[in-house]
Structure 1
Amino acid sequence: MPDAAPLLDAAWRIDPALVRRGVPAHVSLLYPFVPESALTDQDEKGVRSLAASFPAADLLLEEVVTESGFVAVTVPGLQTIVDAFRTQWPGLRPYKGRFGAQPAAHVTVAMGADNPTAAAHVRAAIGSLLPLRTRATAVQLVVLTEGGWQPRFTVPLGVPDGP
């Protein structure tokens, strides 16, 4: 979601430690996902199939949420696809249960904002950038490697992957 990059930039200007540099603005459909060492062809086919079953989406980002050191912007327009991924892999708990069983689709803006003043500054800074319009056009499967997060493949939303 390149259009959401200014949200992360605003948080970084307040405290660079709050933003994971090198990780672009995005909505995690299911995190943690299957570890790379356990990822099967069936998992990859499942990701491709789900992406093909949802159209590209115009999105409106307008609500900031905060919770225990975490600042995000909700993305309700992607909740249906997030729910579909959770249904496809029911054994994977989103965020290991940290935000409950069904956390809202969101763009993480800041993590580790345990200082209430810092969190309030981030919230105000990103709130001034909203509402923000963007478009989701693809799903990207990324895997955690020794070198950090690396893309494995990208598949467009709403485009069948073939037979």
Structure 2
Amino acid sequence: MADDSTSRFQAGQTGLIVRVPDAEPVVRAWRERFDPSARAGVPAHITVLFPFLGESRTDERVHSALADVLGRHHAFDLHFESCGRFPGVLYLVPEPDAELRRLTEVIAEQWPEAPPYGGQFTEIVPHLTVADGQHEAVLDEIEADLRSKLPFTSRVSSVDLLVHDGVKWQEGASFALLE
């Protein structure tokens, strides 16, 4: 039986993310405690599109199309200097976020059967989740700690396809942006 960290994910699910390795020293301890995706093997990241196509559909043709679509976009820097919230969720705000939104839009245009957030939300809000499913007091504590570790900047030079194997998320492919 899957534990709480993996029960929300299913084998064969895929997602597209941008890794934010510069965030790891800032958020790792909090994410390991309060973000189920971290416990399921996902690094500090910003989701570009989740869920994407099922693993059985992400063949070489899809990989080639992703490389083509993403390869038209330039690498860019993100600056993190503040936190934001959704109900029960604390996240770092990436700035500027226009290029992240654009990446999501162009992939969703190419694969309309994979709308952002499964069509659950209409607005694309790029974010780096730190804690999910927590009470406000816990989020307040985390945010106070994070404020002392901000700001930082991180370079985005690729988009990664992750695949859930039933237990953990694994990298399926990485697609470079133009440098």
Matched residues in 1 for 2:28 and 2:162: separation? Answer: 22
The equivalent residue for 1:36 is 55
Matched residues in 2 for 1:89 and 1:102: separation? Answer: 18
Residues 1:130 and 2:147 aligned together = no
Cα 1:126–1:82, aligned 2, differ >3 Å: closer, same or farther?
Answer: farther
The equivalent residue for 1:95 is 117
The equivalent residue for 1:140 is 160
The equivalent residue for 2:44 is 25
Letter in 2 for 1:53: R
Cα 1:60–1:68, aligned 2, differ >3 Å: closer, same or farther?
Answer: same
Structure 2 portions without partners, runs of 5+:
1-19
The equivalent residue for 1:109 is 130
Q: Encode CA deviations 1:52-111: one digit per residue, 9 max, x unaligned.
A: 11111111122311111111122215222222222222222322344x212211211111
Matched residues in 2 for 1:151 and 1:9: separation? Answer: 19
Q: Which moved more, 1:27-36 or 1:63-72?
A: 63-72
Cα 1:18–1:139, aligned 2, differ >3 Å: closer, same or farther?
Answer: closer
The answer to whether the 8 A contact 1:48-1:155 is kept is yes
Matched residues in 2 for 1:127 and 1:85: separation? Answer: 33
Matched residues in 2 for 1:146 and 1:5: separation? Answer: 24
Q: Which moved more, 1:35-44 or 1:15-24?
A: 15-24
Letter in 1 for 2:142: V
Structure 1 portions without partners, runs of 5+:
none
The equivalent residue for 2:3 is none
The answer to whether the 8 A contact 1:64-1:71 is kept is yes
The answer to whether the 8 A contact 2:34-2:130 is kept is no
**Alpha-carbon distance, 1:10 to partner:** 4.8
**Alpha-carbon distance, 1:117 to partner:** 0.2
TM-score, structure 1 as length reference: 0.82
Residues 1:66 and 2:111 aligned together = no
Matched residues in 2 for 1:125 and 1:10: separation? Answer: 11
TM-score, structure 2 as length reference: 0.76
Identity of aligned residues (%): 28
1:151-162 counterparts in 2 under 5 A? Answer: 151-158=171-178
* Aligned pairs, number: 155
Let me know the Cα RMSD of the aligned residues. Answer: 2.1
